[in-house]
Amino acid sequence: MLNHNLFERYNNDLLCIVPVSFPQAALGAKLEVPTLTGRARITIPPGSQTGKRLAMRGKGLPHLNRPGLFGDLVVEIRVETPVNLNKRQRELLEEFESCSDGTCQPESTGFMDRVKSFWDKMAN
């Protein structure tokens, strides 16, 4: 099988990794993604995390010996961390961080709770 720069094949399904910005992942977005026949629009739900997968039914490869039946195109979200921030962008992110109470980052909060519990058990 040949490598492709947009798709990875898994039987009749295709995987396409799509980079999204932090605001798009946090707020949700409508994006155009490539398909074998052109383009399709997909809705990224608010709060999407890296690794979230969205299936586009019937947009994959045709099934062998089963005319009219197609696999899925699976879109995997890859949230990009901003780089090369200017002063204003940095200030805005710092302001966002300072007013966050932890409820918008449940994985981090849960992780830190488990770490604290682990350390408490080690101390006893």
Domains of the chain: 1-81 (2.60.260.20), 85-124 (no CATH)
pLDDT reported for residue 99: 81
Amino acid at 72: D
Tokens of 8: 């990875």
Residues 96 and 116: their CA atoms lie apart, in Å, by: 25
- What is the widest separation between alpha-carbon atoms in the chain? 65
pTM of the model: 0.78
Cα dihedral: 41, 58, 53, 29 (round 10): 10
pLDDT of residue 97: 84
Which residue numbers in the chain have pLDDT < 70? 1-3, 102-106, 108-109
Question: Do residues 76 and 53 touch, judged by C-beta distance below 8 A?
Answer: yes
Mean confidence (pLDDT) of the chain: 89
| pLDDT value, residue 2 | 53
Residue 16's pLDDT is what? 96
